[in-house]
Structure 1
């Protein structure tokens, strides 16, 4: 009951901020810039060969924002590409995956109705690869009540990381703050580390504060300075100048894409380039690079996954599969691909009939799934909360283009 109440409170606060978040999400599409290294996708998952599945379908659901003010079409398309390949290669014991994608349209009521159609009418065994700013906040309690597990492609709000039935594949903004602070202090060796919060979203501030407090516990040090914006439309410049005044050597700053552009311009205009500035994943967009150009040189950002535009062997299969299916190679596509690939492995591990119960039992046993696309093994397990991705790589702007700042993953200590 306590968990249900907490989820309800978080959901109510989150839904009040949906218009702002949808606007932010619309800015966060990360299309691959310029020339992208070509890659070749595997014909079939390991151990399988071409043999089109024709048996009784296994129902899997996905709830994503496909229309409305902010859209995430790549995630569900990427997940479908994974399952289409599986079906071409024999499916699960001859049974194909029937993947049903529902569009929440950025509307809480529609999100609730869509989840109920998938669970009660479509009889899905699980939710996979969803990329929605509404799904967790609206449906987490319902999924728990109905015994539905969700391998989330993109987790954003606090509810996504505080449900026994949802486990996102991405790092998320809150762990993102912790790992960025840790990168500043333990990798870059900055002594005076600071934080500026530009997100003005009901229900989010406590989660961001807890993320900073977690860094203080891990490192045994305290923030030199912590500032927060009054409202989302405020100019962040006074907070950045204050960080300079108190001697900050590195500052982790969050916010949406428009904040990234404002921060980059304020850094140059006020001579703040002697400070290391680290943004969240929302900063990692081609538009930020384009808008800032050389002005943004040195601005860092958290990538969460293997940087989507890196020339990395780890991206070979996902990039090849996206190219084959005409899907933009973005961070959202990585999340959908990862969620579906992990769930595919779960399905293939099940001995006997694939049901909602056997899927939940298999996910409960999933305590370590290694993939080079993320720096921490993915897990589901039996915990009351799930935030398995505790790693990131960092990218840096140089003359308007994001490049990998370092090849090693930065992983938080247990």
Structure 2
């Protein structure tokens, strides 16, 4: 499946924001912000990421680690420090199962936080449910990550991302959007699934769509573009990492297709280098989804995330969308645990408390995020989109609500807890 090239592209597509954002000026604020180090009995919290293997897929876990360091330097959980244990699943299902068992059974973790892996969701669903431990993940990618009672990612995921971009185009060009083609790498539970939300949504509007799944290791960009154009689409979504998308846009430019079809992509293209990589020809012609608000927005939570990374992370840790996700996962967990009696914190009380999170607000999110007692979790389903404009990705005002038919049960649950009208 050439997973290495795909994942490396995903990392490049979001990691480049480190240079674009810069550092923070204000001091980091975490927990009670006491300025006094916690010295009580540690609370063990684990995390699973993928490091050794095709690529280092651990930005979310590193951000969670930085936040917990900041928390421990500022009073911890009402005096108790968090012992954050981050484990590498090595991109291997067997190893993923081993480290999960280590954290949960051997170390007695009360929760897992900041997880970021293509492997973890599928490999460990059984133990998460059997041990009734909550995973407040930073980044979910495969479908498995969004269909578990005990796994709640703070990111949106590729399917929601694609659907939002299409909805923005549909609303921006009334009556023009009827047929959609979506390109996707052929990774099980990622590729076609990432396109299906947009395809199903346009069909619900009386339109039509198709997915073209391909092996990126043997991709012929011109053939893909010609195959898509044979469908006579109004929109083409390039649901790939940047490094795979660029040759597709180059092939489309050779065919002079910028004004013949509307072009879009999910958050994997939300990269400050993307507009330059595809060139001036595409100015004002490409819509790109954003899973969260703009990383350089300068809002209080955005600035605090950067301050936490600058003071308690490593200079080599990415300052990217995935890092934002890990920061949020750690923060919501810490703020939830601080409401508990510190002498009675254990796995059952933590699981119950996390499931009681029904309205966590941050200016990094477009709407309140939640866990709740739902059978599955995809709470980050509303966000902005950006346009390629003058060599930059410029965020459009407002937030797009993902109306993916697959989210019907999620939306119903949101009505139940008062998040949605």
TM-score range, shorter chain: 0.7 to 0.9
- Quote the offset at 1:161 in angstroms: 0.3
Conservation of the 8 A alpha-carbon contact between 2:249 and 2:278: yes
Correspondence 1:363 to 2:347: no
Conservation of the 8 A alpha-carbon contact between 1:194 and 1:243: no
CA shift in 2, pair 1:336/1:230, >3 Å: closer
Q: CA RMSD in A?
A: 2.6
CA shift in 2, pair 1:42/1:128, >3 Å: same
Query: How many angstroms apart in 1 are the aligned matches of 2:384 and 2:134?
Result: 28
Matches within 5 A, 1:37-48: 38-45=23-30, 47-48=32-33
Query: How many angstroms apart in 1 are the aligned matches of 2:98 and 2:79?
Result: 32
Correspondence 1:279 to 2:271: no
1:293 aligns with one of 260, 274, 279 = 279
SS where residue 363 of structure 1 aligns?
Answer: helix
Conservation of the 8 A alpha-carbon contact between 1:376 and 1:388: no
User: Which residue number corresponds to residue 374 of structure 2?
Assistant: 383
User: Which residue number corresponds to residue 62 of structure 2?
Assistant: 77
Conservation of the 8 A alpha-carbon contact between 1:192 and 1:247: no
The aligned length equals: 396
CA shift in 2, pair 1:312/1:296, >3 Å: farther
Deviations 1:330-389 (A, max 9, x none): 111111111111111111122351110001111121112111111232111111111111
Query: How many angstroms apart in 2 are the aligned matches of 1:284 and 1:206?
Result: 20
Conservation of the 8 A alpha-carbon contact between 2:44 and 2:84: yes
CA shift in 2, pair 1:107/1:25, >3 Å: farther
- Contiguous gaps of at least 5 residues in structure 1: 1-15
Matches within 5 A, 1:102-117: 102-117=87-102
Correspondence 1:408 to 2:394: no
Correspondence 1:226 to 2:215: no
- Contiguous gaps of at least 5 residues in structure 2: 404-410, 412-421
Query: How many angstroms apart in 1 are the aligned matches of 2:271 and 2:192?
Result: 26
The worse-fitting range, judged by mean Cα deviation, of 270-279 and 323-332 is 323-332
Query: How many angstroms apart in 2 are the aligned matches of 1:28 and 1:118?
Result: 31
User: Which residue number corresponds to residue 9 of structure 1?
Assistant: none
- Quote the offset at 1:133 in angstroms: 1.5
Conservation of the 8 A alpha-carbon contact between 1:126 and 1:359: yes
SS where residue 338 of structure 2 aligns?
Answer: helix
CA shift in 2, pair 1:64/1:98, >3 Å: same
Conservation of the 8 A alpha-carbon contact between 2:48 and 2:86: yes
- Quote the offset at 1:151 in angstroms: 0.5
TM-score after normalising by structure 2 = 0.85
The worse-fitting range, judged by mean Cα deviation, of 279-288 and 105-114 is 279-288
Query: How many angstroms apart in 2 are the aligned matches of 1:107 and 1:296?
Result: 39
Deviations 1:114-170 (A, max 9, x none): 111111111100110111111112112221111111011000001100111001000
User: Which residue number corresponds to residue 417 of structure 2?
Assistant: none
Deviations 1:46-92 (A, max 9, x none): 65422211000000001111222211343222111111111111111
Query: How many angstroms apart in 2 are the aligned matches of 1:369 and 1:187?
Result: 30
CA shift in 2, pair 1:193/1:184, >3 Å: farther
- Quote the offset at 1:25 in angstroms: 4.1
CA shift in 2, pair 1:311/1:250, >3 Å: farther
Correspondence 1:337 to 2:324: no
User: Which residue number corresponds to residue 142 of structure 2?
Assistant: 157
- Quote the offset at 1:309 in angstroms: 4.1
User: Which residue number corresponds to residue 408 of structure 2?
Assistant: none
- Quote the offset at 1:312 in angstroms: 4.9
Conservation of the 8 A alpha-carbon contact between 1:277 and 1:300: yes
Query: How many angstroms apart in 1 are the aligned matches of 2:18 and 2:192?
Result: 35
The worse-fitting range, judged by mean Cα deviation, of 289-298 and 300-309 is 289-298
Conservation of the 8 A alpha-carbon contact between 2:135 and 2:152: yes
User: Which residue number corresponds to residue 103 of structure 2?
Assistant: 118
Conservation of the 8 A alpha-carbon contact between 2:386 and 2:395: yes
Correspondence 1:322 to 2:314: no
SS where residue 152 of structure 2 aligns?
Answer: coil
Conservation of the 8 A alpha-carbon contact between 1:185 and 1:193: no
